[in-house]
Amino acid sequence: MPYVLLIFLMLLGSPYAAAQDPVGVATFTVRSQPAAALVDTVRPLLGGGGGASAFHDKLIVRGSAQQIAAVRELLAQIDRPARRLLIEVRQSGRMGMSATDIGYGAASDEVRIGRAPRRPGAQAYYQEFQTRGRDDGTQRVQALDGRAALIRAGQSVPVYRAHQQVIGNQLIQGFDVSYRDALTGFYALPRVHGDQVTVEIYQQHERQAPGGAFDVEHASTVLRGRLGDWLSLGAVGGSDNDKRDAIGRHVQTQRSNDRQIDLRVMAVD
């Protein structure tokens, strides 16, 4: 008889368990992220008889007292305000140009060769000049750990485009004006783990060059390093040479442009 009673109680175990461990409802205020983002995280702790939902910054949990206690312990570990970070991107640019002009000229009353002098005779000349410049800049933006940040600055540059058309016997000429944005900035998504940080970064640098053209530089990558250390995002460089020869003249021009881009992430608190 005792064995039959024991089996009967086991078959009817759920009503007895419900009486001993009633289902309740608890509400938690989430501080670090949207409450809806934690619904799927806490559901495995609630079993088949419990549930979780979100409303604004509130996480509503339905379950036994033991299950609610487990959710409270988990939230104490993961619901912490995101760390504030300072992201810096610095750009170091060097530009240079050098030119050499060598030639000679000779002239008489009837013949002129090369760059001829104003008076009959001969002359030789040598010219050389160099220019150097820097284009450095630093941009900073505050962000939260695990949240994307964007900073961008620049100007709208007018771009003129000439046009002409024939109307009847008349040639009509004019120009249109449009604007193009020349922007410099970056988009970054930092994630901190211990004293290390992983950053998804997209950087751009645009400017109007002489002659109306635009110099455009973009870089996109993922970096990982120690908080506070400068990390190399990349480098852009190039050079070109131009030679021109004519009777009595030789001109050689060399241009170079190098740019280094670095990034670092520092903890604000």
Q: How confident is the model at residue 113 (pLDDT cuts 50, 70, 90)?
A: low
User: Are 140 and 150 a contacting pair, CB within 8 Å?
Assistant: no
CA distance 265 to 141: 10
More confident call, 191 vs 14: 191
Q: Which residue from 204, 210, 215 is spatially nearest to 257, judged by alpha carbons?
A: 215
pLDDT of residue 14: 43
**160 occurs within a structural domain:** yes
More confident call, 135 vs 87: 87
- pLDDT tens digit sequence for 32-67: 888 998 999 999 999 878 899 999 999 999 999 999
Residues 93 and 138 occupy one common structural domain: yes
pLDDT of residue 184: 84
Q: What single string gives the DSSP state of each residue in 63-110?
A: EEHHHHHHHHHHHHHH--PPPEEEEEEEEEEEEEEEEEEEEEEEE-SS
Residues 54 and 151 occupy one common structural domain: no
Lowest average pLDDT, out of 89-93, 220-224, 260-264, goes to 89-93
CA distance 148 to 189: 4
Give residue 61's identity as a one-letter amino acid code. Answer: V
CA distance 45 to 66: 10
- pLDDT tens digit sequence for 60-101: 999 999 999 999 999 998 888 888 999 999 888 777 778 887
Number of domains in the chain: 2
Q: Residue 4 pLDDT > 50, yes or no?
A: no
User: Are 162 and 174 a contacting pair, CB within 8 Å?
Assistant: yes
pLDDT of residue 19: 44
Q: In this structure, what CATH number is given to the domain that contains residue 64?
A: 3.30.1370.120
Element (H, E) at 151: strand 149-167
**109 occurs within a structural domain:** no
pLDDT of residue 11: 42
241: containing domain: 85-97+132-267
